[in-house]
A and B are shown apart, each in its own frame.
Chain A
């Protein structure tokens, strides 16, 4: 992003940024802190050990009320903290990108869901002598989800209208190619080591949680672990891709051979060089969809943007994307 776009529309930019921060960080943290304080104020009236986890047979997990306080504060601050970083790169008009708006209201929704749901599950245990009789907190979670939706809807209207204009193209120096010359470009793109570690960490947590639940006597092990391994295998096939462009069109193929996206040259309606901000444009990394645009997003920066004749768009950030776009433009001009 160059200076002229960074400094365009400073007033709109400031309004957008402050409202995004209000919706995604300030309000969620306020809800979480309020919920935590209310739970803490109830501690004298609660049993020393309260129900914190429910199964089909009622309470099956016990703990200190402080665990729930930590859950509310920890989850909300983590989510809001990540959100705060995704608002750095606004649309050129100074308005939020659609994904940024969606993420901001999701942060608010999550905080109300957890704040109301968890505080509610504690409220019904006040005055109990034995936490094993604690009532199911499902109604409170549903109420939290509903109130969260109302808050998210209100926040949606508070935020400036999302900017859906596609990113502007970067000029590409054309390749000079003789009439009988054949051109072909190929490159690979891999997930950063940090992303890979994150994927493994999430699955380690999931599998650890499932094993712990199984040891605790829940009969969910196979049901939980099997899908986890399937998803893990899928995630790992998608961490390294080969991109090839030439007379054949565009191929984006996982190095495992599957999944693969192949667009024949006859279906390529337009090809441009753009710049991608993973969180702002696609809400994160991996195989992404956002408003008719598919992204194979493993890194930020210059990207090939292919518009198909059916109007669908494929975006792939890759090193040397400029050459790839130039090659495809030559192939199309034939």
Chain B
């Protein structure tokens, strides 16, 4: 699992952390059934608040990417096959947008529109 966070960015730290874990699940660095680092240890290693880590884990649990079990911590849930397909589609989408000179913010607002 590779995590990169930057406190000077406007994106909240828990979202950056969740994005890093999500990316690690999608690119296979984290595999199904693997146990994540306990929240306190991860917080210590990144020098951030433990509640920030727990909030990131909570987001990923709601997305179905993690299972949280009392006493066992956070475990990568077995649904990443679909996410991997999605990751491929997103790569294609971004490539396509770059090809047509569509900016990141424009692409994001297009996606937001499509969700409505």
**Stretch touching chain A among B4-12, B58-66, B82-90, B94-102:** B4-12
Given A180-B6, A180-B8, A181-B6, the answer on whether A187 and B37 have CB atoms closer than 8 Å is no
B2 A246 Cβ-Cβ under 8 A: no
Residue of A nearest to B1 (CB): A186
B5 A181 Cβ-Cβ under 8 A: yes
Cross-chain contact of A242 among B4, B6, B37, B46 (Cβ < 8 A)? B37
How many A-B pairs fall under 8 Å by CB? 48
Answer yes or no: A247 CB below 8 A from chain B CBs: yes
B37: A residues at CB distance < 8 A = 186, 242, 244
Chain A residues bordering chain B, tally (CB within 8 A): 19
Closest Cβ of chain B: how far from A172's Cβ, in Å? Answer: 14
Residue interface mask B17-56, A partner, CB < 8 A = 1? 0000000000001000010010001101111000000000
A183: B residues at CB distance < 8 A = 2-4
B3: A residues at CB distance < 8 A = 183-185
B42: A residues at CB distance < 8 A = 184
A182: B residues at CB distance < 8 A = 4-7, 46-47
When chains A and B are docked, how far (Å) is the Cα of A247 from the Cα of B4?
A: 12
Chain B residues bordering chain A, tally (CB within 8 A): 17
Closest Cβ of chain A: how far from B69's Cβ, in Å? Answer: 16
Residue interface mask A215-253, B partner, CB < 8 A = 1? 000000000000000000000000000101011100000
Answer yes or no: A214 CB below 8 A from chain B CBs: no
Cross-chain contact of B1 among A177, A180, A185 (Cβ < 8 A)? A185
When chains A and B are docked, how far (Å) is the Cα of A178 from the Cα of B6?
A: 8
Given A323-B2, A327-B2, the answer on whether A180 and B47 have CB atoms closer than 8 Å is no
Closest Cβ of chain A: how far from B1's Cβ, in Å? Answer: 5
Of residues 131 through 168 on chain A, the ones whose CB sits less than 8 Å from some CB of chain B are none
Answer yes or no: A188 CB below 8 A from chain B CBs: yes
B41: A residues at CB distance < 8 A = 244
Answer yes or no: A270 CB below 8 A from chain B CBs: no
A184 B45 Cβ-Cβ under 8 A: yes
Of residues 181 through 209 on chain A, the ones whose CB sits less than 8 Å from some CB of chain B are 181-188
Answer yes or no: A130 CB below 8 A from chain B CBs: no
Residue interface mask A318-334, B partner, CB < 8 A = 1? 00100100010000000
When chains A and B are docked, how far (Å) is the Cα of A249 from the Cα of B59?
A: 28
A187 B47 Cβ-Cβ under 8 A: no
Closest Cβ of chain A: how far from B64's Cβ, in Å? Answer: 22
A177: B residues at CB distance < 8 A = 4
A320: B residues at CB distance < 8 A = 2, 29
When chains A and B are docked, how far (Å) is the Cα of A180 from the Cα of B7?
A: 7
Given A186-B37, A187-B29, the answer on whether A246 and B45 have CB atoms closer than 8 Å is yes
When chains A and B are docked, how far (Å) is the Cα of A182 from the Cα of B5?
A: 5
A186: B residues at CB distance < 8 A = 1, 37, 45
B2: A residues at CB distance < 8 A = 183-185, 320, 323, 327
Of residues 104 through 128 on chain A, the ones whose CB sits less than 8 Å from some CB of chain B are none
When chains A and B are docked, how far (Å) is the Cα of A180 from the Cα of B13?
A: 13
Q: Which residues of B contact A (CB under 8 A)?
A: 1-8, 29, 34, 37, 41-42, 44-47
Q: 6 extra interchain contacts, Cβ-Cβ under 8 A, other than A182-B46, A184-B42, A184-B45? A: A177-B4, A178-B6, A184-B4, A247-B47, A248-B45, A327-B2
The 4 closest A-B pairs by CB, nearest first: A181-B6, A180-B8, A184-B3, A246-B45
